[in-house]
């Protein structure tokens, strides 16, 4: 079984085409056929990051004619670009068209900060990518020692409390930790 980090997970009927354009390989679509629908209708896209085991590098979602649950991966990514109420950690919008959206699967940068134990900490940035503009915001809770780590899928200048931190594209692609203030 050949694994390729540039594999595109998409609807199986178009999977060979997408993979040919990305990697030059289009031998089969068995993985897409066996996993795409389960992924699209799942509730937690970030839990699939570990299931992909570095096999999937891109996800393409096509405009879906039917009803999808508000909590589905499809709704979170296609409709909300991963930036809705329940933001995602490992999917960065790459292309946005009326009929399709493409995402690159990323480890995400880890923003390290401090706060009072049990306090919620939010990192927020404005994103303009692929013709779309939105606010990307992630929140976590500081642990018992006041440490908090917020993993983010987009580069940019993040506001974290009253401070800012710059997250580079390379930080997102490599899973690098970036510290805020004295964290």
- What pLDDT sits at residue 67? 78
pLDDT in tens, 118-176: 999 999 999 999 889 999 999 999 999 999 999 999 999 999 999 999 999 999 999 99
pLDDT tens string 50-85: 888 778 888 999 887 777 888 899 999 999 999 987
Tell me the average pLDDT across 81-108. Answer: 91
**174: enclosing H helix or E strand:** helix 169-174
On whether the CB atoms of residues 159 and 125 are closer than 8 A, the answer is yes
- Residue 28 is predicted with a pLDDT of 67
- Contact partners, residue 69, CB within 8 Å, separation at least 6: 41, 43, 75
In the chain, ranges of CATH 2.60.40.3390 domains? 109-179
Residue with tokens 């800012």: 164
pTM for this predicted structure: 0.87
Task: Note the CATH number of domain 109-179.
Answer: 2.60.40.3390
């Amino acid at each position: 079984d050949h694994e390729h980090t540039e594999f595109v997970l998409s609807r199986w009927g178009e999977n060979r085409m997408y993979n040919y354009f990305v990697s030059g390989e289009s031998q089969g679509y068995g993985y897409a056929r066996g996993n795409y629908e389960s992924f699209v209708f799942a509730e937690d896209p970030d839990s699939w990051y570990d299931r992909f085991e570095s096999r999937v590098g891109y996800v393409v979602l096509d405009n879906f004619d039917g009803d999808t649950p508000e909590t589905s991966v499809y709704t979170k990514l296609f409709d909300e670009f991963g930036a809705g109420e329940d933001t995602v950690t490992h999917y960065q919008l790459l292309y946005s068209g009326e009929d399709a959206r493409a995402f690159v699967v990323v480890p995400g940068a880890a923003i390290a900060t401090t706060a009072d134990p049990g306090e919620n900490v939010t990192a927020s940035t404005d994103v303009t990518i692929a013709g779309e503009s939105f606010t990307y915001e992630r929140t976590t809770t500081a642990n018992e020692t006041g440490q908090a780590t917020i993993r983010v899928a987009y580069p940019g200048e993040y506001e974290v409390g009253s401070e800012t931190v710059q997250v580079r594209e390379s930080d997102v692609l490599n899973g690098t930790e970036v510290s805020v203030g004295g964290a």
